[in-house]
Amino acid sequence: MEICVFGAGSIGSLVGGVLAREHEVYLVGREPHMSAVEDGGLQISGEISGTVHPRTATAPPESADLAVVTVKSFDTQDAGRALQNCTLGGVLSLQNGMGNESILAESLDCPVLAGTCTYGARIEAPGTVECTGIGEITVGPADGGESDLADRTGLAFRQAGLETTVSPAMPRKLWEKLAVNAGINATTALARVSNGALLEGSVREIARKAACEAARVARNQGHSLSGQQVMDRTFDVAEATAANTSSMHQDVRAEKRTEIDAINGYIVERAEKPALVNETLTALVQAWERERGLRA
């Protein structure tokens, strides 16, 4: 399969790098990372290791069987516009937050798949990516159900060695992922702690309440998701990735804009009654961003 990974940061580089074992992969990302990969290959370390030689670019190729979008949620609209110049068989969003699939569908005339990814990744230097935790990728049609594209994508990912499941229930899966991210990301970013710190102490209760508020909003949106389910899932992920630094924590450490609007902020906007923990987390992270000129 010919695959374009649009947004080759940490997760995009890891997923694209593993896919390059078996498929023709184009990594589309920023300099100097792309030049380093072009010159010496992509060095993968950690729980997955090896060197692969995907093609690299700062713009999409003319065509691809599949585009895997891994940009930050606030860049989704720009990604959709950029991919309009690429003839695609389909697109898969492997992004944080909600609403990315509908934004991509507005720009692109091809099927759009939704996906979740619990692999951990970190870029320490151009041309390298560290796998900080083996996880699972789940893909399926954004509106639920089944499709040939989802089946082909799942098979292609598994052939390359990525733990991948094809699901007909992606809308619920996305809400479950949102709840987990709501509990883990902003909490660890504000406290400057690794994921495992959420397993005990008062910060555990903050993470629990944030995830449970997300489950409540999901139920009001018509998705069967209990507070107990998301609480268990949140702490399972925190335990499995105990040593990891969450993506939002990485952004804060690098003094970059976060995805708070598409995670905790999304929950606040759709809550039928106040989601006080998510409101607080959203306000604190947004204030941090304004202080540094990262948002208006």
What is the set of active-site residues?
177
Residues 6+ apart with CB under 8 A from 210: 182, 183, 186, 187, 264, 277, 278, 281
Query: For residues 105 and 15, what is the distance between their CA atoms, to the nearest angstrom?
Result: 22
| DSSP-assigned beta bridge partners for residue 133 | 120
> Encoding tokens for residue 275?
């989601």
Largest CA distance in the chain: 54
Query: For residues 100 and 94, what is the distance between their CA atoms, to the nearest angstrom?
Result: 9
Q: How many helices (DSSP H) and strands (DSSP E) are in the chain?
A: 11, 14
- 120 near 132, Cβ under 8 Å? yes
Query: For residues 107 and 146, what is the distance between their CA atoms, to the nearest angstrom?
Result: 22
> Encoding tokens for residue 101?
């699939």
> Encoding tokens for residue 16?
């694209």
Chain length of the chain:
296
- 133 near 120, Cβ under 8 Å? yes
Phi, psi at 63, each rounded to 5°:
-155, 160
Phi, psi at 95, each rounded to 5°:
-115, 165
- Token pair 């708070």 is found at 260
- 189 near 251, Cβ under 8 Å? yes
